[in-house]
């Protein structure tokens, strides 16, 4: 790494840390690695040592930055308001060109830059994956590779299970006067098409008239997380432009990671004269689905355990929103103890064994709850928890909150 970011806000953010350690017990990477350098306090001190020229940005430094899940639990509890999300993404951006970047990181970058941003390619891949899963070729591949690489076998376990055909914006007839604009997402739209259709039914049951802007694609949340900030800015501008035609109605998302990234476009594009104001306006419009649902929904009949995504719990102030909504509807619902499930965007693909380890307490809580359904509001967590429940042959079904709330599809009635 040539240097750490030079902007004064970065330096100020690092210097705010008073080493109080309040953040340490909240950190999932510390829970897994049990190493001070893999705690938030340790990472901030590494940045400080780097700024002061006491250490080099070598492979060891990179490793500890790489092991952060970006869950931002530390930021949420920090009394000194250390802006760890900003420090992490800007540091990762600086780290990208170094020779220390390992192959898996390069693969992640290529996937984000060449696949995730192309909806047609993503949909094609999702269809291919659905066929592979239907023929159980993934299980065969897992069986073949397991004796040679447990990590690769774990990656196969964690592959998203495709649910329904990919969601296409053209499926929804544009209303004359839209009251909400729907974010169809990239991986979410390609692999969880049925969840997106369920979300549209929920919105319609709320007497909303949803429009799905056809030119939208990836919002750049995963790129931000990986420190690919130039790519993230391009995708943010594309997303803002795609949604401006729908007027100033709320923008509904079904992915906690995407809603957080889009709510932070104002900050991402703050130095861009042409886009800063448009980004700030856009961010004020972004809502999670649970923020747009009132009482107009049938009461779910199963006992539901509600899992909170880090990006709802930590930063977005949506803590307890899903549970309160279900209680208001009269549903029998309980909250799972809050803990990071280990999905964290592309982190689980890069660190599958550690992600699996972090997942186990969440699975234990789901099983102990006695519920028949786990309600989840983020696609990464949903894939991850579904994989874990499958591996335990659990009878509990992991569903997106949209699926829990939605009336049956016309062909299911």
Footprint of ligand SF4 (CB under 6 A) = 17-23, 26-29, 40-41, 43-44, 68-74, 78, 80, 82, 84
Give whichever of 13 and 160 is closer to ligand SF4, judged by the CB atom: 13
* Residue 50 to residues 1, 64, 320, Cα–Cα distance (Å): 10, 13, 39
Q: Specify which residues 333 forms β-bridges with.
A: 304
Nearer to ligand SF4 (CB atom), residue 20 or residue 135: 20
* Of residues 67 and 223, the one with the C-beta less far from ligand SF4: 67
* Least distance from ligand SF4 to the Cβ atom of residue 379, Å: 19
Q: Which is nearer to ligand SF4, 263 or 351 (CB)?
A: 351
Q: For residues 323 and 327, what is the distance between their CA atoms, to the nearest angstrom? A: 6
Q: Collect all residues with Cβ–Cβ distance below 8 Å to 344 and sequence separation of at least 6.
A: 69, 70, 71, 225, 310, 355, 380
Minimum CB separation of residue 73 from ligand SF4 in Å reads 4
Nearest distance, CB of residue 314 and ligand SF4, angstroms: 8
> In this complex, which beta carbon is closest to ligand SF4, that of residue 41 or of residue 263?
41
Q: Which CB sits closer to ligand SF4, 62 or 194? A: 62
Output 22 or 101, the one with its CB closest to ligand SF4.
Answer: 22
Residue 315 is encoded by which pair of tokens?
Answer: 């930063």
Bin 305: left if φ > 0, else alpha if -120 < ψ < 50, else beta: beta
Helices of type H across 320-351 = 321-328, 347-350
Alpha-carbon distance 302 to 381, whole Å?
21
Residue 388: CB minimum distance to ligand SF4, A: 19
In the bound state with ligand SF4, the residue whose beta carbon lies nearer, of 22 and 324, is 22
Cα 290 to Cα 320: distance, rounded to the nearest angstrom: 10
The pair phi, psi for residue 180, each rounded to 5°, is -155, 145
Element (H, E) at 397: strand 397-400
Instruction: State the nearest-atom distance from the C-beta of 354 to ligand SF4, in Å.
Output: 11
Is there a contact between 288 and 277 (Cβ–Cβ < 8 Å)? no
- Please tell me the distance from the alpha carbon of residue 326 to that of residue 7, in angstroms, as a whole number: 44
Q: Minimum CB separation from ligand SF4 for residue 22, in Å?
A: 4
Q: How many CB atoms lie within 10 A of CB 128?
A: 11
Nearer to ligand SF4, 28 or 178 (CB): 28
Would you say 292 and 208 are in contact if contact means Cβ atoms under 8 Å apart?
Answer: yes
Least spacing, CB of residue 347 vs ligand SF4, in Å: 9
In angstroms, how far is the first alpha carbon of the chain from the final one?
58
Q: Taking CA 157 as the corner, what is the angle to CA 155 and CA 162, rounded to the nearest 5 degrees?
A: 105
Nearest approach in angstroms of CB 108 to ligand SF4 is: 17
Q: How near is the Cβ of 80 to ligand SF4 at its closest, in Å? A: 4
């Amino acid at each position: 790494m040539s240097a750490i970011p030079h902007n004064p806000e970065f330096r100020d953010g690092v210097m705010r840390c008073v080493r109080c350690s309040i953040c340490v017990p909240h950190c999932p990477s510390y829970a897994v690695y049990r190493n001070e350098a893999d705690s938030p306090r340790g990472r901030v001190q590494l940045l400080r040592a780097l700024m002061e020229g006491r250490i080099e940005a070598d492979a060891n430094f990179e490793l500890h930055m790489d092991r952060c899940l970006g869950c931002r639990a530390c930021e949420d509890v920090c009394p000194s308001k250390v802006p760890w999300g900003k420090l992490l993404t800007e540091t990762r951006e600086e780290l990208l060109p170094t020779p220390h970047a390992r192959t898996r990181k390069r693969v992640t970058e290529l996937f984000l830059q060449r696949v995730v941003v192309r909806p047609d390619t993503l949909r094609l891949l999702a269809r291919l994956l659905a066929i592979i899963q239907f023929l159980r070729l993934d299980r065969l591949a897992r069986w073949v590779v397991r004796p040679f690489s447990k990590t690769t076998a774990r990656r196969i376990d964690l592959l998203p299970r495709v649910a329904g055909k990919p969601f296409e914006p053209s499926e929804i007839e544009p209303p004359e006067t839209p009251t909400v604009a729907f974010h169809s997402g990239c991986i979410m739209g390609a692999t969880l098409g049925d969840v997106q259709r369920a979300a549209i039914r929920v919105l319609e049951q709320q007497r909303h008239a949803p429009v799905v802007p056809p030119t939208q694609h990836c919002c750049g949340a995963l790129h931000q997380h990986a420190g690919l900030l130039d790519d993230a800015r391009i995708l943010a501008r594309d997303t803002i432009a795609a949604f401006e035609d729908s007027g100033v109605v709320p923008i509904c998302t079904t992915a906690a990671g995407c809603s957080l990234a889009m709510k932070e476009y104002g900050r991402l594009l703050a130095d861009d004269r042409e886009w800063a104001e448009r980004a700030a306006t856009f961010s004020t419009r972004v809502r999670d689905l649970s923020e747009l649902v009132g009482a107009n929904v049938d009461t779910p009949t199963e006992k539901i355990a509600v899992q909170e995504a880090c990006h709802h719990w930590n930063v977005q102030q949506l803590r307890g929103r899903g549970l309160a909504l279900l209680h208001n509807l009269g549903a029998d619902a309980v909250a799972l103890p809050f803990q990071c499930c280990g999905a964290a965007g592309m982190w689980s693909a890069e660190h599958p064994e550690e992600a699996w380890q972090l997942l186990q307490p969440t699975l234990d809580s789901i099983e102990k709850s006695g519920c028949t359904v786990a309600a989840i509001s983020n696609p990464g967590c949903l894939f991850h928890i579904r994989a874990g429940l499958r591996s335990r042959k659990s009878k509990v079904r992991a569903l997106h909150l949209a699926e829990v709330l939605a009336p049956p599809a016309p062909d299911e009635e």
